Chains A and B, each alone.
Chain A
Amino acid sequence: MDERKIIACVDRSQYSIAVADCASWVSKQIKAPIEFLHVIDRHLEQAEGEDHSGAIGFGAQENLMNKLVMSDSEKTKVAKSRGRLFLNGLRERAIEDGVAQADSRIRHGTLVDCLLELQDDTRIAIIGRRGETSVASNRDIGRTFEAAVRALNKPVLGVHEQFKIPERFLFAFDGSAVSKRGVETVLQSQLFKGLKGTLLMCGEKSSSGIKLLEEAAQTLTDSGIPTEFNHVQGDVVTQMLKGLEIHQADMLVMGAYTHSPLRKLFLGSKTEDMLRATKVPALLLR
């Protein structure tokens, strides 16, 4: 029996409800328990500096230490009690929704570190594409989200503000090893039970590519996931977005962040462009 859990990462932003609902759906599909993970990050790399007096007097170090400890402790206490209440709410919501087992866990540190710690017990992680910090800073895709996807070697389901149970998924197929493995994952996972799918390939037409595509679609259809396939040419991101519309797909499956962060710095990331342009849940495979 697979004991591993669905890790649903929630902060106290409006994304958390979507994360929780998505987790409930996944849990009922794959019959795995949910664990709501709430991380209290004190943001040690940031400071509140109102004191620019630059004067140090008697017991300067001691006083500063006390001040910093006090302010941290106050903030964390509030965050802790709020977090507990909030987690209880989400758990009740999941249980009402018919989930068999939902636990919650509250940790100190950064989300990425906590996810890495829990990695071995994780089947899939569900994360909001933005969160408290990225809403505040107006980023389209939260930095935490990207860092988490890059760090984990488990599938990550990134959800947007609204979650609706998907009926049809679009699989970004490129014939590579990652997408072949992706097809394997779809085959084996109970997640896609009852869904219809489309394999979409984008790029130069080649007979070998089409053959791969056809085979993959056939395998999926044979095992109970009715799957179409299509081949288009043009810019990957545009075509995939168009594909979502044409095929009326409401979930995206793709390999994510296959390039190094350095390359991303100069060329941008297709994964990110795609995530930015669509609001459907996206299953990112590493």
Chain B
Amino acid sequence: MIRTIQTDWFSNVRNDLLAGLVVALALIPEAIAFSIIAGVDPKVGLYASFCIATVIAFTGGRPGMASAATGAMALLMVTLVKDHGLQYLLVATLLTGVLQIFAGLLQLGKLMRFVSRSVITGFVNALAILIFLAQIPELTNVTWHVYAMVVAGLGIIYLLPYITKAIPSPLVAIVVLTVFSVFMGMDIRTVGDMGELPDSLPVFLIPDVPWTLETLQIVFPVSLTLAVVGLLESMMTAQIVDDLTDTPSNKNRECIGQGVANIASGFIGGMAGCAMIGQSVINIKSGGRGRLSTLAAGVFLLIMVVFIGDYVAMIPMAALVAVMIMVSIGTFNWASVRNLREHPKSSSVVMLATVAVTVGTHDLAQGVLVGVLLSGFFFANKVGRILRVQSSTQNEGRNRTYVISGQVFFASAETFINSFDYKEVIDEVTIDVTRAHFWDITAVSALDKAIIKFKREGTEVEVIGMNEASRTLVDKFAIHDKDDALERMAAH
């Protein structure tokens, strides 16, 4: 235990602290931007980011993964905030946390294996597009100064690293643009115009709502979606961090950890959040590996926001837009565009459908649902094609033997039935299914159908190997019964 604590917290101290600082600097613009998306004061997102990053450092299952207020979650709150206000959002945040803890206890993290690579890519791309689209309001009906500032900001962000990598270029962009706009006295929108910023350390508060069934009915659907999307993004990000660092993570602990972090956020007036792909990549890139990196990010964020809040208010929105466009570009999986042509069509369709549905509904949960369903269909369709029927006649054409091999289930049952020649005048038919797998009831009834059809033509039917074929029918294969059961299943 001590060894784990040692490894998770203190084996990379210097890099973790520096990476935490870099992440905190990038979290500030994001937290503000996502608050604006959700329609709440920037302080709601800033408190949430501080709280989630800090709590998840202790409770999370993936050291080094950055969590805070996120765009994916913010998009789901818009209606709730508009119709019922901030207090209901806080209740929804608490309930989201509770649901996520349940999901963790039920080990729902395991369900992630049904989410294919294409769906994940679609999710990531949709997220990047949504982050970009959320910047559009800041770019419409504005003077050319704003465009110039965004371009200048992006220029600094991407070109400065060629000169020095010692300081975060997004920070430099924000400072330069802020100083410039204040100095020139430009009349453009600033963070201060967007709502209240934190002026003190967060305090514990209980949301001011009637604690009735009606409230529950209002927040529950939102919380459920928030919980699902939060966990989806967290699990995907955890996977990405696992791959980048070549270390394992505890997915169920992460689910519970996200829940605890959201509950904590709800009690200090913050919105719900989850793991962030872009920030986690930044953290790893800056050398963050341990839990200390995320703790540092949260603490640095709070210190900066509370003590230099007056300056934060002067940041022009254009500077934030530049940073968010960077996050969007960095999150988007550009290789997937190139891969569209090389990958199988079905994968591309799944990816594009996930993106389309998500962008259309602003709900990543629906996008993923469509993606998962589509990949299921495509898979069933593909496997259904693994069905061979060979036939031969015996006894001078009076008997015919059909040898079936392959997968028989709902998607291939039709093909199975149609592969027999019912019109042939014959005395006896033998159907050998020893090398076929009957996966479901549809398969069994398809065989019944075929037998009945033969009987009507006055043909006697004999089925061979039904026991072997239907061994796959039971929900739990009893392969542990005998030592060679697995081999025998594969062989038949």
Contact = CB atoms under 8 A, between A and B. Distances in A.
B161 interface: yes
A50 B87 CA distance: 43
Given A47-B288, A60-B330, A53 B169 contact: yes
Question: Which size class do B's interface residues fall under?
Answer: 35 or more
B171 interface: yes
Given A54-B171, A72-B246, A45 B2 contact: no
A47 B247 CA distance: 12
Contacts of B12: 45-47
A11 B331 CA distance: 41
Contacts of A59: 334-335
A203 to B, nearest CB: 28
B3 A46 contact: no
Contacts of B246: 42, 44, 68, 72
Interface string A43-73: 1111111111111111111101100100010
Nearest to B171: A54
A177 interface: no
A46 B244 CA distance: 13
B282 interface: yes
Interface in B267-294: 277-278, 281-282, 284-290
B326 interface: yes
Interface string B11-45: 11001001101110110000000000000000000
Nearest to B13: A46
B2 A56 contact: no
Nearest to B3: A147
A57 B26 CA distance: 14
A54 B26 CA distance: 7
B282 A48 contact: no
A49 B15 contact: yes
Interface in B205-261: 240, 243-247
A54 B282 contact: yes
Contacts of A246: none
B330 A47 contact: no
A78 interface: no
B353 to A, nearest CB: 22
Nearest to A48: B287
Contacts of A46: 11-12, 15, 289
21 contacts: A44-B247, A47-B287, A49-B18, A49-B19, A50-B165, A51-B286, A52-B287, A53-B161, A54-B282, A55-B160, A55-B170, A55-B326, A55-B330, A56-B285, A57-B329, A61-B240, A64-B284, A65-B244, A68-B246, A261-B1, A265-B2
B285 A58 contact: no
A262 interface: yes
A214 to B, nearest CB: 39
Interface in A244-275: 261-262, 265
Given A49-B287, A60-B281, A55 B245 contact: no
B167 to A, nearest CB: 6
Contact of B335 (A42, A48, A62): A62
A58 B330 CA distance: 6
Contacts of B290: 45
Contacts, number: 129
Interface string B373-410: 00000000000000000000000000000000000000
B10 to A, nearest CB: 9
Nearest to B24: A54
Given A48-B15, A51-B286, 16 more contacts: A44-B246, A45-B247, A49-B285, A52-B22, A52-B168, A53-B161, A54-B282, A55-B160, A55-B161, A55-B170, A56-B282, A56-B329, A58-B329, A58-B334, A62-B335, A68-B246
Interface of A: 42-62, 64-65, 68, 72, 112, 143, 147, 261-262, 265
Interface of B: 1-3, 6-8, 11-12, 15, 18-19, 21-23, 25-26, 157-158, 160-161, 164-171, 240, 243-247, 277-278, 281-282, 284-290, 326-327, 329-331, 333-335
Contacts of B327: 56
B2 to A, nearest CB: 4
A25 B62 CA distance: 45
B157 A55 contact: yes
Contacts of A45: 7-8, 11-12, 247, 289-290
A209 B2 CA distance: 35
A9 B166 CA distance: 39
A112 B2 CA distance: 14
Given A61-B240, A262-B2, A54 B329 contact: no
A50 to B, nearest CB: 6
A137 to B, nearest CB: 11
